[in-house]
Amino acid sequence: MELSAIEFFFTFLAISIVIGMIAVLGGVGGGVVFTPLMMGFTPIDSFIIRGTGLLVAMAGSLIAARPFLNRGLANIRLLLLAGVPYAIFAVIGALLAGYIQETAGETGEAIIRLSLGILIIGIAALIFFGGRKVEYPEIKNVDSITERLALATSYYEQSLGKVVYYKVKRAPVGILIFCFVGLVSGLFGLGAGWAMVPTLNLAMLAPLKVAAASSKVLIGIGDTAAVWPYMKDGAIFALFAVPCVIGMVIGTIIGAKIMIKIKAGFVRWLIIAVMAGAGIKLILDGVSRLGSS
Amino acid sequence: MENEHPKPPISGVIYGTICYWIVIVGILVAIVGMSMYFISGGCFDTEILLDSLWEGKVVEEVWAEASCVGHLPEGHWYLNFDLLSHGDVIAMVGVAIICCAAVVGMWGAFVGTVRSREKLYAVLALIIAIILTLSAIGVITLE
């Protein structure tokens, strides 16, 4: 493709703004759309894309942290509890990605593409079938470990005009799931809101808004741990990373503003189609690389 | 009071505020760097860099062919004083500042949890802050 540097910059800026907007409107993080789309439809090396994908997911999340934490929507205790397994396993995932890159060559690249393709189709299916989401889960009994962790708190719910008090439960189960989520996030360069929201909402029974806000902030913590190894291994190039980060931040802000005004149903379908397309392309690519390696 | 806004925990407020402003500063530095890159060039030859990216070359090859360094650098290469006159290297400093946001923010959250005497959460914040710091300073590396 014959693009000048400035054309490349503004093309990727525009693409990232669109990805940021549709990601917010579809209720997923930017990284989960960015990484498979770039891996599926550009020839850029997957290691570079995965590092940039982590950076992109991280930047949007760090910007969102202030309003969510100032309003008490994101539960800082929940974040710290989940942040430890998530950060540790995100680093392990990033190290594993580097190991595969250095030792497995073309076969490693094929396996990464194949597994990411399968994962992305799984996530698209998860969004398609909707999953059971509970706005304000009812909790009768809290297990003793979670009780001792004192995770119950409250926030002011603007739409109801009142304070919502809530508890969570099954903290040990949540911690185990966050280990897996961190590993996937670091390995594939994805934010992991698609897995964290159901974990917090369905497994730990946090209110949906708290789960969404906490997961968004948590991505910034785990992805920071995972992005540094990519940074220091020279996998992030300013010409590619800067427009993608700026575009994703602008897209997230625009998306958040128009989300209030439009019905996001069609965007959800668009995301499912894009992710399914990217997933199939990655699987085909992975299979063909496996065949030729 | 049912309708009184609950006060958010200070550790969260500190973390969020630090992250927000550091990211803003990082983005501004990156924009200045990219503007310089487009006006006066940089460490990476844009044409060769784009060709290498579009040809799907791996990181080592991209560095060897397109950068002024000529090989894959080690550590925080963008802090090398000799390279800091290049716009794209300044942009990378901006990216690194963005990556530092959660590291600094988590130390802030640790101080917040200590001040509000939440022992368990102070320990958890400390663990995360240490992991992020080790990752940032390069103790955790792909090599």
Query: The complex's ipTM?
Result: 0.90
Interchain pair A91, B135: CB under 8 A: yes
Poorest-pLDDT segment among A231-240, A268-277, B48-57, B100-109: A268-277
CB contact (8 A) between residue B131 and residue A63:
no
- Best of A232, A246, A249 to substitute, by most chain B Cβ atoms within 10 angstroms, is A232
Q: How many Cα atoms sit within 13 Å of B36 on the Cβ side? A: 20
* DSSP secondary structure letter of residue B67: B
Neighbouring CB atoms inside 10 A of B90's CB total 23
Q: How far is B83 from chain A (nearest CA, A)?
A: 14
pLDDT in tens, A233-262: 889 999 999 999 999 889 888 877 776 566
For residue A166, what are its two tokens? 């809530």
**Rg of the Cα trace of chain A?**
19
Say yes or no: A68 contacts chain B, CB-CB below 8 A.
Answer: yes
Q: Which of A48, A83, A75 is nearest to A233 (CA)?
A: A48
The pLDDT, as a whole number, for residue B61 is 92
User: Do A242 and B38 make contact, defined as CB atoms within 8 angstroms?
Assistant: no
Per the CB < 8 A criterion, the answer to whether A200 and A162 are in contact is no
Chain B, window 70-129: residues with a beta carbon less than 8 angstroms from a chain A beta carbon: 72-77, 88-89, 91-92, 94-96, 98-99, 101-103, 105-106, 109, 113, 118, 120-121, 124-125, 127-128
Model's pTM, two decimal places? Answer: 0.86
Give the Cβ contact number of residue A51 at 10 Å: 30
> What are the residue boundaries of the structural domains of chain A, listed by start?
5-292
pLDDT at A184: 85
Residue B14 has pLDDT above 60, yes or no: yes
Per residue in B30-48, pLDDT (tens digit) is 999 999 999 988 899 999 9
Beta strands in chain A (DSSP E): 153-157, 162-166
Query: Which residues, other chains included, contact A89 with Cβ-Cβ below 8 Å and sequence gap of 6+?
Result: A178, A179, A180, A181, A182, A183, A185, A186
Q: Answer yes or no: do A91 and B140 touch at CB < 8 A.
A: yes
Q: What is the mean pLDDT of residues A200-213?
A: 84
Locus of tokens 């969570």:
A168
Return the half-sphere exposure (C-beta side, CA atoms, 13 A cut-off) of residue A66.
Answer: 12
Chain B residues with CB-CB distance to A225 below 8 A: 131-132, 135, 140
B1, pLDDT greater than 50 = no
Whether chain A has a CB inside 8 Å of the CB on B39: the answer is no
User: Per the CB < 8 Å rule, is A5 touching B23?
Assistant: no
Q: What is the pLDDT of residue A27?
A: 62
The percent of residues above 90 in pLDDT, for chain A, comes to 16
- The verdict on A76 touching B (C-beta cutoff 8 Å) is yes
